[in-house]
């Protein structure tokens, strides 16, 4: 099955650890379709080593926590680099963070690329302004396109009239005396 294909690619190992959960169960619990789930497992194969329990392949222990964090951060819009940095930082700094005061931990976890709470209205206003400008440009583009189409249609009509006039003039020039006398 599709779950087994990923296990071979990720380099699964055997083991029986507490907290083992099979891949299909994990995918269903997180609400991921198998294709997305396989992509995450391949992308983070170094952080999510697969385990085997009998015939089932799955994750165990901290790998399940990592997977949940990866899924949550992905939904929040973090990039792969940011997620990796956070997970590796968490694994290296976990003992140190327990000794820090709560305020220091909170300041440390703030991402500089994310707007703070008081900047959100400004960002939203800027987005509204950009959306308004985009709508104006789109309306102008539609108006310009319509103008061009109208001028193209006028030009085509004028060309058709000129062709008709040219062809009728040629026919008149090539009429012989007999054509004129007979009314052709």
pLDDT tens digit sequence for 149-174? 999 999 999 999 999 888 877 776 67
Residues 84 and 148 grouped into a single domain: no
Q: State the alpha helices, DSSP H only, in 11-119.
A: 23-30, 34-43, 62-76, 80-99, 102-109
Look at residue 43 and tell me if it is in a domain.
Answer: yes
Look at residue 121 and tell me if it is in a domain.
Answer: no
pLDDT of residue 159: 94
Residues 78 and 158 grouped into a single domain: no
Residues 92 and 140 grouped into a single domain: no
CB atoms within 10 A of CB 78: 19
Q: How many domains does the chain have?
A: 2
Look at residue 170 and tell me if it is in a domain.
Answer: yes
Give the distance from CA 87 to its chain's centroid.
23
Look at residue 125 and tell me if it is in a domain.
Answer: no
Bridge partners of 58? 22, 51
Counting as low any pLDDT under 70, the low residues of the chain are: 1-18, 90-117, 172-173, 175, 184
pLDDT of residue 92: 60
Residues of the domain holding 17: 2-102
pLDDT of residue 150: 94
Residues 95 and 137 grouped into a single domain: no
Chain-wide mean pLDDT for the chain?
76
49, 82, 102 - which closes a domain: 102
């Amino acid at each position: 099955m599709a779950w087994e294909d990923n296990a071979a690619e990720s380099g699964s190992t055997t083991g029986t650890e507490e907290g083992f959960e099979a891949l299909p169960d994990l995918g269903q619990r997180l609400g991921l379709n198998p294709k997305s789930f396989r992509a995450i497992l391949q992308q983070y194969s170094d952080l999510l080593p697969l385990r085997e329990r009998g015939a089932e392949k799955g994750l165990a222990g901290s790998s399940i926590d990592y997977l949940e964090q990866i899924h949550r951060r992905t939904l929040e819009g973090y990039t792969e680099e940011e997620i990796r940095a956070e997970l590796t930082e968490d694994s290296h700094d976990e003992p140190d963070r327990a000794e820090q005061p709560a305020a220091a931990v909170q300041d440390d976890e703030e991402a500089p690329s994310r707007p703070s709470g008081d900047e959100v209205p400004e960002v939203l206003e800027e987005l509204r302004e950009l959306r308004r400008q985009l709508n104006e440009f789109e309306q102008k583009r539609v108006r310009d396109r319509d103008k061009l189409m109208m001028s193209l249609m006028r030009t085509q009509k004028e060309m058709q009239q000129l062709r008709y006039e040219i062809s009728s003039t040629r026919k008149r020039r090539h009429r012989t005396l007999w054509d004129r006398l007979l009314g052709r």
